[in-house]
Chains A and B, each alone.
Chain A
Amino acid sequence: MRNDQDKNLEILSNIDEDIIDRNTEKRIQYIKRMRQPKKKRWIPVAIVAATISLLAAMVPMLIFFSDRPDPTPPIGTETETNQKQIPIYRGMSIASNGVSLEQDFKSEEEHLLLWNRPNMLSVRGSGTVLSVLESNHQSLWRIMYSLQQKNKPNLIYPSVQGSLYYANPGETIRITIHFDNPDQFEIMSFTLNEKKYATQMFLEGSDMENLIVEYTIDEDAAGMIECTIDAIKYIDGTKIKDVKIGGEQSVAICVRPEQQPTVKVEEEKMDANGVSFLVSMEDSLGLIAASQGNVRVVLYDRETTIAEQNVTVGEDTLIQFVDMEANAYYRYAVIARYDALDGKGLVDHVFYEKEMNIYQLTYVMDGGINPEENPKDYISKDGAVLKQPTKEGYRFVGWTWEGQEEPVKDAVIELGAHGDITFTANWELPMSNLAMPVDGKMIRSYFTENSPEYDSAHLGIDIAAALGSAVYAVEDGVVTNVWEDVRTGYSIEIRLCDRDVYAVYRCLDEAVAMGLEKGDAVKKGDVIAYLGEPTHIHEKSDGPHLHFEMSADGLMVNPLTYFTQNVIDRLTSSEP
């Protein structure tokens, strides 16, 4: 079992190496210095007497030369007591939360890049220049100036970041005070911004040449603040003396203000011309002006900026973006470029961002074909007109959608519309119960391609009947044309049922046909003419017959599709 001495020795022997090394080194230095021969302090009485008489003789001379500057020995010379070099204050450095913010700059190149940003090198401020630091690199400099604007806090602002220290209000930072102190005098106390710091407040890691203390930034601090050290005392034996000042007594800290600029966007409108709104930017601390920044509203699509408008800080600015294209995607944002004093420098801050939404369009076609030009989506500023769809054997009546019960042929996506829309295509069957145009048999049907017998297309049907047979109106309608065709003789065109369906009768007798006039209304079954002699070169041999044609929506159609089966049977039956 060990005795107490052994235990103590064991404990002491296991003290961490770094502590032993550090203090052994100091011990070596102290011992070395102790060995240096000291000046004899003993002064013979004779020398004292001689000195006094010499001083007495020099009094008049001293008075004569009293205007001359005092030949104070330069800092650091070994003229101090006991030939010891008294401590010299060399400056302060700052670490935030123990880490210097300068370490954010990963390399020297990156550091230079930030400083070389062109928009950072043109500092013009309406304030007082506090200090300018220049280095051997021409663009490595920093200027601080204080804004002196009425009704604004006197915010001191660093225009160019670099070797500045940044902190937040209320944050506790660490300040290291550096000394030249080869003779290891004990630094006893100092004041930092008028607060006294003494030995017990020096933090771990402090030594005879570097004192580390904590300093808390005021809660209401903003902009550039300064820490000033003063009244630095050290102990020499039993005396308390002043440390010599050989460095900058102040160090600047940049504090990010809580109060950042704000933006208000009002009266936002999207109309036929595009977008318009009022923007007002408030910046009570003048951060934007101080950093030579700007505020702008940017209109852009997913990739590029389309338009930009500047905003005047402190005033309402009307923003208008016009001539915006249909079926395009837009975003707009209020962006302020300024240094928020947060260590990031002059950067863009996005305050308000809006997207012009895309809405889905759905089409219910009911078997019809939708033209490819019709859009699949739209944004709120659209005003597109939809194209009409088609369906075999049907007529397009129009589109209907929510809130629009009556079909509309030319549907328009209204400007400023919002939300998804479903368009339903509405169709109707063509008229299918027309009366017999003439009592006879069909001798030539409707065909659209050349036939060997006929040598051309035949866009109607031929119904053979006796010369002078009555020709009837197949449906209610209005006569739209009566004319003599050079090939087919007298002809009548009737618009049926007030729709875009026309019936054309050809090969008529002149007498009755010419009795009708354009605009005359006819009823289904009315005799409108009598059959005449055929005039068409190919059809003369067929004898008297009615050439009957129909068109719907501007296209020729097979008339048989408009007749009932009963009528068709009568036309095609072989019975007389």
Chain B
Amino acid sequence: MKEELMKQEQKNDHEMCLSDQAIVDLYWNRDEKAISETDKKYGRYLYKIAFNIVHDNLDCEECLNDTYLGTWNRIPPTRPSVFQIFLSKIMRNIAVDRYRKNRGAKQIPSELVVSLNELNECLCTVPSVEEEYALKEISKILSDFLREQNSADEFMFVCRYYYSDYLADIAKMLNVSEKTVYRVLIRMRSNLLEELKKKGYDQ
């Protein structure tokens, strides 16, 4: 898998890619070339997001296609300010949906599962009666909590639990040791649990 990715990476690097603006213009003008250009420029990047979550090549391909379709449907009227962020979020959500669908049949050994299990101890404290409301409330508390963190900690949390990145990848991105990332995340989870307790979401 890694070799495949590396090959594709090198291939992409050598190809000339259009600017984000030009690609968005293609979507805007309903030019189907937009999808191939997106794939050429961001296919590999998006593939990696999907792979962390669904952990299956075929599923990743489907997620990619769904993402391109989703992008095609959203632009226009949307004109994303940063195209890659826009794609990232679509891909992540599509991959999570795909994971949910697949989950029933088999245990998926994706990083998403690992990361979600890490969160079990602090997040799933919601009584089912008022679930909808409480989940939104916890999201709000989590957002506020993240804003209070320093930027590196916040970044680690988002990578790990929103994009389900591997600890090693996060460490590499930040040029720190895997252990550091691990320790930071433990500390944050424990602080988050405290914060939730303070707000009345006790186990």
Contact = CB atoms under 8 A, between A and B. Distances in A.
SS class of chain A's interface: helix, strand, loop or mixed?
helix
A13 interface: yes
- B interface, over-half SS: helix
Nearest to A202: B150
Interface string A23-37: 111111011001100
A94 B158 CA distance: 30
A14 interface: yes
A26 B96 contact: no
Given A19-B147, A19-B158, A28-B84, A8 B139 contact: no
Interface in A20-52: 20-28, 30-31, 34-35
Contact of B151 (A208, A236, A238): A208
A8 B116 contact: yes
B64 to A, nearest CB: 17
Contacts of A199: 150, 152
Contacts of B89: 20, 24
Given A9-B116, A19-B158, A30 B150 contact: no
B152 A186 contact: yes
Contact of B139 (A11, A22, A26, A30): A11
A134 interface: no
Contacts of A20: 89, 158, 162
Contact of B148 (A1, A34, A184, A204): A204
A30 B176 CA distance: 13
Contacts, number: 117
B22 interface: no
B124 A4 contact: yes
A10 B136 CA distance: 8
B85 A13 contact: no
Contact of A206 (B126, B138, B150, B159): B150
Contact of A13 (B84, B93, B155, B159): B93
Interface stretch (B23-31, B32-40, B54-62, B167-175): B167-175
Nearest to A183: B175
B11 interface: no
A150 B163 CA distance: 67
B13 A27 contact: no
Given A14-B135, A28-B84, A207-B151, A7 B158 contact: no
Contacts of B93: 13
Interface string B119-141: 11001101010010001101110
A5 interface: yes
Q: By CB atoms of chain A within 10 A, which of B9, B140, B146 has the most?
A: B146
Contacts of B113: 5
A12 interface: yes
B85 A25 contact: yes
A184 B176 CA distance: 12
Contacts of A206: 150-151
B158 A6 contact: no
Contact of B173 (A7, A19, A30): A30
Choose among B45, B113, B140, B150 the residue with the greatest number of A CB atoms under 10 Å from its CB: B150
Nearest to B45: A31
Contacts of A26: 151, 155
B173 A27 contact: yes
A8 B124 CA distance: 6
Contacts of B123: 7-8, 11
A25 B82 contact: yes
A21 B155 CA distance: 11
Given A20-B89, A21-B82, A21-B85, A236 B135 contact: no
Nearest to A16: B143
A204 B147 CA distance: 6
Given A8-B123, A14-B136, A16-B143, A24 B151 contact: no
A185 interface: yes
B84 A9 contact: no
Given A21-B85, A186-B152, A2 B131 contact: yes
Contacts of B82: 21, 25
> Which among A11, A14, A200, A208 has the highest number of chain B CB atoms within 10 Å?
A11
A393 interface: no
A23 B139 contact: no
B182 interface: no
Nearest to A205: B147
Contact of B155 (A23, A236, A238): A23
B148 A237 contact: no
Contacts of B128: 1-2
B118 to A, nearest CB: 9
A235 interface: yes
Contacts of B119: 8, 12
Contacts of B158: 15, 19-20, 23-24, 27
A238 B177 contact: yes
Nearest to B165: A27
A8 B146 contact: no
B176 A9 contact: no
A407 B163 CA distance: 106
Contact of B143 (A5, A15, A27, A28): A15
Contacts of A237: 175-176
Task: Select the residue from A22, A23, A24, A208 with max chain B CB neighbours within 10 A.
Answer: A24
B166 interface: no
B188 interface: no
Contacts of B150: 199-200, 202, 206
B174 A184 contact: yes
A34 B135 CA distance: 36
B65 interface: no
Contact of B146 (A2, A19, A200): A19
Nearest to A209: B151
A35 B96 CA distance: 26
Interface of A: 1-2, 4-16, 19-28, 30-31, 34-35, 183-186, 199-200, 202, 204, 206-208, 235-238
22 contacts: A2-B128, A5-B116, A7-B135, A8-B119, A8-B124, A9-B96, A9-B116, A12-B161, A15-B146, A23-B154, A25-B82, A27-B158, A27-B165, A28-B88, A30-B173, A30-B174, A31-B173, A183-B175, A184-B174, A202-B150, A208-B151, A208-B152
Closest 6 A/B residue pairs (Cβ): A14-B139, A30-B173, A23-B158, A4-B124, A16-B143, A207-B151
Interface of B: 9, 13, 45, 82, 84-85, 88-89, 93, 96, 100, 103, 113, 116, 119-120, 123-124, 126, 128, 131, 135-136, 138-140, 142-143, 146-148, 150-152, 154-155, 158-159, 161-163, 165, 172-177
Given A15-B142, A20-B158, A186-B176, 20 more contacts: A2-B128, A5-B113, A5-B116, A7-B131, A11-B123, A11-B135, A12-B142, A13-B93, A13-B96, A15-B139, A20-B89, A21-B85, A25-B85, A26-B151, A27-B155, A31-B173, A183-B175, A186-B174, A204-B147, A208-B151
